[in-house]
Amino acid sequence: MKVDPSKLMSIRADVLARNNALAAASANKTSPGADDAGFGKIISSAVDNVAALQAESSKAVSAFQSGESHDVASMMVARQKSSLGFQATLQIRNKLLSAYKDIMNMPV
């Protein structure tokens, strides 16, 4: 079986190019815990979003109660958005807590 040197060099160049690409991609990671910071940011952002929805709901209710606004529908929509956001956050917290407990109860 004959080996074509030009084809072999082409394969070698391709392997080296992929190796360099992988090295560049791994250099972009700052640390092994970088994914943890991303998860924390996502959770923090979600909680901030729920807090903003609750503030908006509170403003809509107080505007309706004071007579500044007569739009019942927008007030109810704001309250429902706030309620759904809070319930979703609560359910996510419960699932995370349950997963943590399951992991802690695993035999080593």
Specify the DSSP class assigned to residue 7: H
Residue 73 included in any domain:
yes
Count of CA atoms in the C-beta half-sphere (13 A) of 94: 6
22 or 57: which carries more pLDDT confidence?
Answer: 57
pLDDT digits (tens, 9 = 90+) for 53-103: 999 999 999 999 999 988 899 899 999 999 999 999 999 999 999 999 999
Residue 7 included in any domain:
no
3-state secondary structure of 3: coil
Total number of domains constituting the chain: 1
Return the pLDDT at 58.
94
Helix locations, 28-108, DSSP H: 34-66, 72-104
Residue 16 included in any domain:
no
Residue 75 included in any domain:
yes
Which of 88, 87, 90, 78 is CA-nearest to residue 54? 78
Min mean pLDDT across 19-23, 24-28, 44-48, 100-104 is at 24-28
Residue 22 included in any domain:
no
pLDDT surpasses 60 at 35? no
For residue 104, what are the domain limits? 43-108
Return the pLDDT at 30.
54
